[in-house]
Amino acid sequence: MKSTVLKTANALWLCKDGKLVALPANTDCSAYDVIDASKAQAMPGRICAHTHIYSGLCPLGMPAPEKAPENFLQILERIWWRLDRGIDAQILRACARLYAAETLFHGTTTFLDHHESPNLIEGSLDILSEACDEIGIRALLCYGATERNYGYDEGHRGLEECRRFIKANKNPLQIGAVSLHASFTCSDKIVREAGEMCQELGAIMHVHVAEDAADIADARSRGYVGPFERLLAFGALPKGSIIAHGVHLTAEEVAAADALGIWFAQNPRSNQGNRVGYAKNLVASKHVALGCDGWDAKMQNEIDCLRKLSAEAGEDAEAVIKARVAGGYKLCEALYGMPFDLVEGGAADVIVEKEGKVNDVIVGGRIVVRDGKLCTADMDAIRAEAKEAADRLWAAMKKLA
């Protein structure tokens, strides 16, 4: 296979071992597969710091719950904790292929996933990994361990799925992490086990913290100051870990996490949709990136929502947006050990836009979208497979109480 070369208005980049290497301007490129962006806009692929691939079928007609949820816990119970139990291997594969492909079309080349499928724990991360590899997206993968359905055994199996994947993974585009769903659905025993696994494997944690006030109340009822302090007490938030949300953390807690090198993924659309509040104290951290929390990974939509909510909170919205976007690249740099920018040695994750539309996408040096078309799989087949899987998932959800 020919190596990829990206031609921009003022540079020639060879993609070598997943990184960018500058070539002299007069290089004969006939031996290369050239993406010509000399008259277009080439930029680093966008980053989504927190999502749920498993919700990727929702736009395909997910039925509304019979009784409308009135608070955050009811949203989880009536929608997401039914959907996740309906997932089987075929549904997950179809969902992952669709969501990964659509994410690339949005110009997002990396997503950090947080997976749960309580009736398909073992091997679920391999299904996600294979789909991401096939479609050609960079991903962090983990299983969000929880005890909310079947107790301790469920939590333990979730953590073991993380361990298995972290140890087996050889794909340089993929990173495995230890994960818990959230403090409020886990016993001390499971949080301790997660902390020990992080230490043993030298792995980071990816977890929801303080998304809703219910998480704070739960940790307090267990005798902790809050969920952040509880996770810290068990060593379950090592440096580099990723906290999703942090909506109800105090400025002091956010600053403490920042000092410990812990990242935050802010998800403005999801927080607004779930009516859990605006994460106003995240400005106390220099480690904050944007996630989409299972919505489409079109990061411009997330930025537009952040602009509105940030301004309403009295912040300098443009400065916050700038910091969040830069935070995404810094987070990836920390995860993968290379800059995510069009620089020598930078990740060969580049998007080319023409008139504001994503035309070409390169991930890890591989051309995955060309002239607006997916190169790695048949998009029509992906859509057909997803539609069939979605219909089965809605039927499965209906049967679950």
Of 12 and 244, CB closest to Zn ion: 244
CB of 291 to Zn ion, least distance (A): 7
| Residue closer to Zn ion, measured from CB, 48 or 175 | 48
Q: Which residues contact 398 (CB under 8 A, 6 or more apart)?
A: 63
Residue 52 C-beta: closest distance to Zn ion, Å: 6
The token pair at 317 is 């919205």
CB of 141 to Zn ion, least distance (A): 14
Answer whether 175's CB lies under 8 Å from 168's CB: no
Residue placing its CB nearer to Zn ion in the complex, 193 or 293: 293
Stretch that binds Zn ion, among 143-151, 177-185, 236-244, 360-368 (CB under 5 A): 236-244
- For Zn ion, which is the closer residue by CB, 102 or 293? 293
Q: How far is the CB of 50 from Zn ion (least distance, A)?
A: 6
Tell me how far apart the alpha carbons of residues 273 and 22 are, in angstroms, rounded to a whole number: 44
Structure tokens belonging to residue 339: 């800059």
Number of residues that bind Zn ion (CB under 5 A): 2
Alpha carbon distance 302, 279 (integer Å): 14
Contact 114, 98 (CB under 8 A): no
Q: Give me the least distance between CB of 146 and Zn ion, in Å please.
A: 12
Nearer to Zn ion, 238 or 294 (CB): 294
Structure tokens that stand for 30 in this block: 């006939």
Q: Name the helix (H) or strand (E) containing 352.
A: strand 350-354
Find the part of the chain contacting Zn ion (CB under 5 A) among 57-65, 125-133, 144-152, 287-295: 287-295
R_g of the chain, CA atoms, integer Å: 21
Closest CB 28 distance from Zn ion, rounded Å:
48
Which x/- pattern, by CB under 5 A, does the window 35-74 give for Zn ion? ----------------------------------------
**Tokens at residue 364, please?**
């890890």
- DSSP string of 325-351, one letter each residue: HHHHHHHHHHHHSS--SSSTT-BS-EE
Q: Please pick, from the candidates 212, 215, 253, 293, the single residue that binds Zn ion as defined by CB under 5 A.
A: 293
For residue 369, the minimal CB distance to Zn ion (Å) is 26
Q: Residue 8 or 185: which CB sits closer to Zn ion? A: 185
Q: Which is nearer to Zn ion, 19 or 181 (CB)?
A: 181
In angstroms, give the least distance from the CB of 265 to Zn ion: 8
Question: How many Cβ atoms from other residues are within 10 Å of residue 305's Cβ?
Answer: 20
In the bound complex, which residue of the shown chain has the CB atom lying closest to Zn ion?
A: 293
**Of 38-46, 124-132, 279-287, 291-299, which part binds Zn ion (CB under 5 A)?**
291-299
> Which residues, other chains included, contact 232 with Cβ-Cβ below 8 Å and sequence gap of 6+?
none
Question: Are residues 363 and 173 in contact, defined by beta-carbon separation less than 8 angstroms?
Answer: yes
Going by C-alpha positions, the residue among 159, 312, 286, 179 that lies closest to residue 242 is 179
Using CB under 5 A as the binding rule, whether residue 212 contacts Zn ion is answered as no
Looking at the Cβ atoms of 8 and 124, the one nearer to Zn ion is 124
Other residues' Cβ atoms within 10 Å of the Cβ of residue 82: 18
Q: How far is the CB of 293 from Zn ion (least distance, A)?
A: 4
CA dihedral 92, 117, 228, 251 (to 10 degrees): 40
Min CB(270)–Zn ion separation in Å: 7
Q: How crowded is residue 330: how many other Cβ atoms within 10 Å of its Cβ?
A: 19
Does 113 sit near Zn ion (CB under 5 A)?
no
- Its sign, for the CA torsion 88, 93, 95, 100, is positive
How many Å apart are CA 335 and CA 342, to the nearest integer?
18
CA distance 398 to 61: 13
Pick the closer one to Zn ion by CB: 121 or 209: 209
Binding segment (CB under 5 A) for Zn ion, from list 34-42, 142-150, 225-233, 289-297: 289-297
Range in contact with Zn ion (rule: CB under 5 A) among 65-73, 81-89, 239-247, 280-288: 239-247
Beta carbon nearer to Zn ion, 13 or 143: 143
The residue ranges that bind Zn ion (CB under 5 A) are 244, 293
